[in-house]
Structure 1
Amino acid sequence: MTDRLMLLDSASLYFRAFYGVPSSVTAPDGSPVNAVRGFLDIIAKLVSTYEPTALVACWDDDWRPAWRVSLIPTYKAHRVAQARPGATDLEDVPDALTAQVPLIRETLSLLQIPISGAAGFEADDVIGTLATRATSPVDVITGDRDLFQLVDDERAVRIVYTARGMSNLEVVTDQTILAKYGIHAAQYADFATLRGDPSDGLPGVSGVGEKSAATLLQAHGTLEGVVAAAHAGDGMSARTSARIIEAAPYLEVAPRVVRVAHDAPVDVAPVPLRALSDADRAAAERLAEDRGLTAAMTRALDALAAAGR
């Protein structure tokens, strides 16, 4: 079997699990476990479908890093839990999901799936760093388009995109991005900078949407090329040129916010998947029985065991 590293955008997946599995799924004590069950089923499906030889759950040790906020103060600002006194740096997450995150981490530990984060960095940056270090093909599992910038056909780095649901997964390659947006993956970060993203609090350039951002990059190659052309009045309308120039303060800092880090201080190395020992499997099964997750845990254990043969 060819080595293949799978990197999970963990928060993206446990949010999907939480909203995809009914809240009526609870443990025997009545506590919510719908996100945990959904997360286990996601792991089972992904491992069975894409057959990784190593798997890492990448984590947001800092979901809204101060260094990004210092560059663009609106970055993810609308997601902050403002209603919680003195907790302006906390993400607004449903309480029923927050309560399950420690159990998701415990479950991953029992499955011997390494969890990797980095102080001051988001999971995206952990993924970018591990994908950069990888010497084998990489599958990045996410519902976040921002990570399209990591696609690299030459290095066999691809995205398994979950936004359409786990029953309709999309493998994203450079050709996929070219067909959808008219640009290459290497241009995606510049494209996202120009276009902006209200969901992340990134304003973009006024009047520049997806189509015009793609057109500018098709003509000028990179963000730097677009800015240079705007100042030269070359290859774009006077109105667009003026908008690019007016957005100079934003364009000077936004690339650092939008681009995924490739050198985060990640100290967890991927390890080969393998079947758990009888004792370790029994420990995972005991937790599952206590929390009413027996069937989902069995599916995940069996998928991991098959992958580790």
Structure 2
Amino acid sequence: MRSVTQKTQRLMLLDTASLYFRAYFGVPDSVKAPDGTPVNAVRGLLDFIARLVQDHRPTDLVACMDADWRPQWRVDLIPSYKAHRVAEEKPAGTPDAEEIPDTLSPQVPIIEAVLDAVGIARVGVEGYEADDVIGTYTARATTPVDIVTGDRDLYQLVDDAKQRRVLYPLKGVGTLQITDEALLREKYGVDGSGYADMATLRGDPSDGLPGVPGIGEKTAAKLLAQYGTLTGIIEAANDPATKLTPAQRKRLTEAHGYLEVAPKVVQVATDVKLPTTTTALPRQPRDPELLDHLGSRWGLGGSLHRLLTTLSS
């Protein structure tokens, strides 16, 4: 990372796919390149990054990518994991492809090429999701960390003592929910370290995680308040002396198989082997000539200009 004083350093981690999906649906598809190719996700993401840098002034920034959006090791543990998002048609013998809009998928390589030419670190690791890359950077950070994502799963990384927070977009990135432990306790009744345990118990239909039938968010939070951790709850379910209701004990006991494997699926990895890369926010483009070509080829206009102006300032 850039050699500046500890006081001024701040690492920003982008859940890039989460942001370009939001850009795609938030910017009209009438925004097109000179050849008619939609570039609404590209331009929207560039505007998002410019606004984030302007408002939050990170010294380091990483665009974290899904090298594998549905890792096999997670599917092996819970076969339903993200199964409903798999595209129906794919070439035989190829990995599962995520079902995304036809006019979005061609924009992803453009996004990657532009980020590379600008000089913004872009990191994905084979066999892992962007969440895992974010989790590992966060675990290794010695400076404050801002995680920008529309995925609540990453609330598990919030840690006030270590100055780790999630910036959750409510409307674009101009209106962000600053997610700290106080907000998590207010909304969910848990802190960052307890969020993954709550999510495991509650389940998440959007990720194909069944949860424990009959135990929703509020009950999960109440049980965690009583027994501390998911491990404590499981131990309580196996101890007749505890004050679990018969129904709760039965539900937890019957979900034993799920509870054995779900934590590894729900918890983001923090030990991914990250590539060696410079995360310092660039002041000037890494490849000005290529970036000029990309800007003209794809009609990135004001969006690219705003990003470069923000970086240089």
TM-score (norm 2): 0.94
In the aligned structure 2, how far is the partner of 1:125 from the partner of 1:163? 23
- Show the 5 A alignment for 1:230-309: 230-233=237-240, 234-276=242-284, 280-281=287-288, 283-306=290-313
Q: Which runs of 4+ in 1 moved over 3 A?
A: 279-283
Out of 31, 51, 58, which is 2:64 matched to? 58
1:204 pairs with 2:211:
yes
Percentage identity across paired residues of the two chains: 52
Query: Which residue of the other structure, out of 28, 32, 38, is the alignment partner of 2:34?
Result: 28
CA contact (8 A) 2:20 2:45 kept: yes
Corresponding residue of 2:143: 136
Q: What is the letter of the counterpart of residue 191 of structure 2?
A: H
Q: Which amino acid aligns with 1:84?
A: K
2:118–2:282: 8 Å Cα contact kept in structure 1? Answer: no
What is the match of residue 160 of structure 2? 153
Q: Distance in 1 between matches of 2:115 and 2:284?
A: 12
Checking the alignment, whether the CA contact within 8 Å between 1:285 and 1:297 is kept in structure 2 is no
State the superposition RMSD in angstroms. 1.5
In the TM superposition, what are the counterparts of 1:209-228 in structure 2 within 5 Å? 209-228=216-235
Q: Distance in 2 between matches of 1:200 and 1:158?
A: 22
Aligned: 1:38 with 2:47: no
**Of residues 191, 202, 218 in structure 2, which corresponds to 1:195?**
202
Mapped to 1, the partners of 2:300 and 2:239 lie a distance apart of 62
- Stretch deviating more after TM superposition (244-253 or 283-292): 283-292
Contact 2:11 2:146 in 1 (8 A): yes
**Aligned residues of 1:114 and 1:268 also touching (Cα < 8 A):** no
Match of 2:66, SS state, is coil
How far did 1:85 drift? 4.9
Of the structure 1 ranges 226-235 and 256-265, higher mean CA displacement relative to structure 2 is found in 226-235
Distance 1:193 1:164, change over 3 A: farther
Q: For the residues of structure 2 that align with 1:154 and 1:243, how far apart are their CA atoms?
A: 35
Aligned to 1:49: 55
- Mapped to 2, the partners of 1:284 and 1:267 lie a distance apart of 24
In structure 2, what is the Cα distance between the partners aligned to 1:163 and 1:257? 26
SS at match of 2:247: helix
Deviates more, 1:181-190 or 1:264-273: 264-273
Report the CA distance between 1:95 and its aligned residue: 1.6
Amino acid at match of 1:25: V
Q: CA deviation at 1:281?
A: 4.2
Note if contact 2:48-2:172 (Cα within 8 Å) is conserved in structure 1: no
Give the Cα separation in 1 of the matches to 2:169 and 2:204.
19
Q: Residue 70 of structure 2 contacts residue 129 of structure 2 at CA under 8 Å; is this kept in 1?
A: yes
Letter in 2 for 1:161: Y
- After superposition, the Cα gap between the structure-2 partners of 1:186 and 1:222, relative to the gap in structure 1 and judged at 3 Å, is same
Please tell me whether the aligned partners of residues 108 and 114 of structure 1 are also in contact (alpha carbons under 8 angstroms). Answer: yes
Give a deviation string over 1:66-89, Cα, whole Å, max 9, x none: 000000000000000023353561
**Residue 78 (str. 1) matches residue 95 (str. 2):** no
Correspondent of 1:112 among 119, 129, 138:
119
What residue in structure 2 maps to residue 13 of structure 1?
Answer: 19
SS of equivalent residue, structure 1 residue 161: strand
- Partner amino acid for 1:217? L
Letter of the aligned partner of 2:296 in structure 1? Answer: E
| TM-score scaled by length of structure 1 | 0.95
CA distance in 2, matches of 1:106, 1:183: 40
